[in-house]
Amino acid sequence: MPMPSANIIEVNNLCYNANEKNAVGDALPLLNDISFKLVTKDSSKITAIMGPNGAGKSLLLRNLAGLLTPNSGEILWHGTPNINAKELAIVFQKPILLRRSVRANLEHALLAFKTPKDQLHNGTEQLLELGQLTDLANRPARILSGGEQQRLAIVRALAGDPKILLLDEATASLDPQTTFLIEKIITDTSKNDTKIIMVTHDLSQAKRMADDVVFINAGTICEHTSTKQFLSKPKSQEAKNYICGKLTL
Amino acid sequence: MCNFAFNEGFTILMQDFLATFSQAFQLIFSFDKDLYEIIGLSLSVTFAAVLISCIIGFPLGAILAIGKFKGRNFIRLIVTAFMGLPPVVVGLVVYLILSANGPLGVLQLLYTPTAMIIAQVILVTPIIAALSSQVIIDLNEEYDELLRSLGLSSFAKMKTLLFDARYSLLTASLAGLGRAMAEVGAVIIVGGNINHVTRMMTTAIALETSRGELALALGLGTVLILLTISINAALMMIHSNARKNAYA
């Protein structure tokens, strides 16, 4: 069924608190009154979530993925709070790989997404090819290099043909060649009706890939604008400081 | 004078010991029928008990590790506490249940290998379940976000965790096997140590020692230790190989 081009994700007044309390006994707000809307259209296929360390980017991504429950506020997918697990996939900064071969990792994901058994082999081969992992198919996944592991994690996330792909610093600490390969997989995926929301610190990566940027600082959204505008004329002082490399305390 | 008497006594003791050892090895290498019958029964009872305990203990451990239900922590506490169940008490309880006047007396299982298997299952299952539970908890900490993001059901999650913890679960089953192999208190009560029917290595060692038949007791003891070492070595090799491939 074709996806409507209206708001694909709508986050309204989302707050997330840690269990720790501050000096006066109030819960520490890690995400504070976060609201934004993301649409799926040609001008917004890839959204980058940016911000300094500890700003709450990964927390926001985990809230979007349903791995954390917000203390208040709501996340709506096409206007409803529920989303099928198959439609949403997340790739973590440190890939979580099963203690199995590369092929078995992909088969596990395909089976989790109810792929019919007769399509399992073809599906696995396609994913192996997409991640350029065919030669490594029978190798134990956890002895692969960091880049190979991340490629595996990304193609595994695509096993369910998700409509939304969340990436948490998926290319952090990878070499340029692997980064290029992963970026290509992500860009190709975005051309295939999949909305990409990626957390990144890399300004040049955001410039290369993202159509718009959600900038977060200290758990609050400072601005949500096009990448071009964000990089050339950021509105908030926090974003200006971030782009200039100034430390904001 | 005193020194001379001690030396003489020590020499005689060593000679007796060596002679007994020699007889024990003769029994082993002459493939003594009685000895191998006891070994065969011991292995079949022990392996059957450990297999049944694994079938019960692994899923139970997984349920206790990641299941979400009321009283889970209490059940975990009980299962962990039962790791140290006194074998004679288990033997006595199983004896009472299986004896002619007991609730399962009609099955006439007392003094049969089945009764010994039941007693060993009761002793070994908590060990395997408690250790499995901890293994699954540790693995789930690592896998939790991935498995949740895949939208797996609790059952599918348990299946994944149990499969991926397979090599660590081998260690849990090894602990159970160690307990079952060394067990004497419960099996002697419910099995009765009947020759050619329920005589196992441990019960035979106890009996033969009390009768002064040290050669047979020592032979059985040697076999028991060699078997334990061999099984441990085999499982350690499997585990080490798995670790090399990052499967463990």
Among A183, A171, A181, A189, smallest CA distance to A89 is for A189
The secondary element (H helix, E strand) that includes residue A177 is: helix A176-190
Which residue is associated with the tokens 């996330």?
Answer: A157
Tell me whether A109 touches chain B (CB under 8 Å): yes
Q: Which residue has the higher pLDDT, A65 or A173?
A: A65
Q: Is pLDDT of B46 > 50?
A: yes
In a domain? residue A72: yes
Which residue is associated with the tokens 């090895």?
Answer: B25
Residue B160: its chain A contacts at CB < 8 A?
98, 108
Residue B148: its chain A contacts at CB < 8 A?
66-67
Q: What pLDDT was estimated at residue B219? A: 84
Q: Is B245 in Cβ contact with A92 (below 8 Å)?
A: no
Which residue is associated with the tokens 């058994």?
Answer: A117
In a domain? residue A1: no
In a domain? residue A42: yes
Q: Is B150 in Cβ contact with A98 (below 8 Å)?
A: no
Shortest CA distance from A83: residue in chain B? B151
Residue B245: its chain A contacts at CB < 8 A?
140, 143
Q: What pLDDT was estimated at residue A1? A: 44
In a domain? residue A212: yes
Q: Tell me: the pLDDT tens digits for A88-120?
A: 999 999 999 999 999 999 999 999 999 999 999
Q: What pLDDT was estimated at residue A23? A: 64
B195 CA: distance to closest CA in chain A (Å): 47
Count structural domains, chain A: 1
What distance in Å separates the CA atoms of residue A226 and residue A48, rounded to the nearest whole number? 10
Q: What is residue A214's three-state secondary structure? A: strand
CA A174 to chain centre: 17
> What is the average pLDDT value for chain A, to the nearest integer?
89
In a domain? residue A2: no
Residue B159: its chain A contacts at CB < 8 A?
none
B232 CA: distance to closest CA in chain A (Å): 23
Q: What pLDDT was estimated at residue A89? A: 94
What distance in Å separates the CA atoms of residue A37 and residue A17, rounded to the nearest whole number? 22
Share of chain B above pLDDT 70, in %: 96
Q: What pLDDT was estimated at residue B191? A: 95
What distance in Å separates the CA atoms of residue A78 and residue A227, rounded to the nearest whole number? 24
Q: Tell me: the pLDDT tens digits for B181-223?
A: 999 999 999 999 999 999 999 999 999 899 988 888 888 888 8
- CATH code where residue B137 lies: 1.10.3720.10
Q: Is pLDDT of B163 > 60?
A: yes
* Average of per-residue pLDDT across B150-156: 93
Shortest CA distance from A88: residue in chain B? B149
Tell me the HSE value of A149 on the side-chain side, using a 13 A CA sphere: 19
Count structural domains, chain B: 1
What distance in Å separates the CA atoms of residue B126 and residue A223, rounded to the nearest whole number? 56
- CATH code where residue A111 lies: 3.40.50.300
In a domain? residue B196: yes
Q: What pLDDT was estimated at residue A6? A: 54
Q: Is B164 in Cβ contact with A99 (below 8 Å)?
A: yes
* Average of per-residue pLDDT across A27-41: 83
Q: Which domain holds residue A78?
A: 7-244
In a domain? residue B1: no
Q: Is pLDDT of A2 > 70?
A: no
Q: Which domain holds residue B174?
A: 40-244
Q: Tell me: the pLDDT tens digits for A182-230?
A: 999 999 999 888 999 999 989 999 999 999 999 999 899 999 999 999 9
* Average of per-residue pLDDT across A131-160: 95
ipTM of the prediction greater than 0.90, yes or no: no
In a domain? residue B34: no
What distance in Å separates the CA atoms of residue B65 and residue B197, rounded to the nearest whole number? 40
Q: Tell me: the pLDDT tens digits for A53-85?
A: 989 999 999 999 999 999 999 999 888 888 887
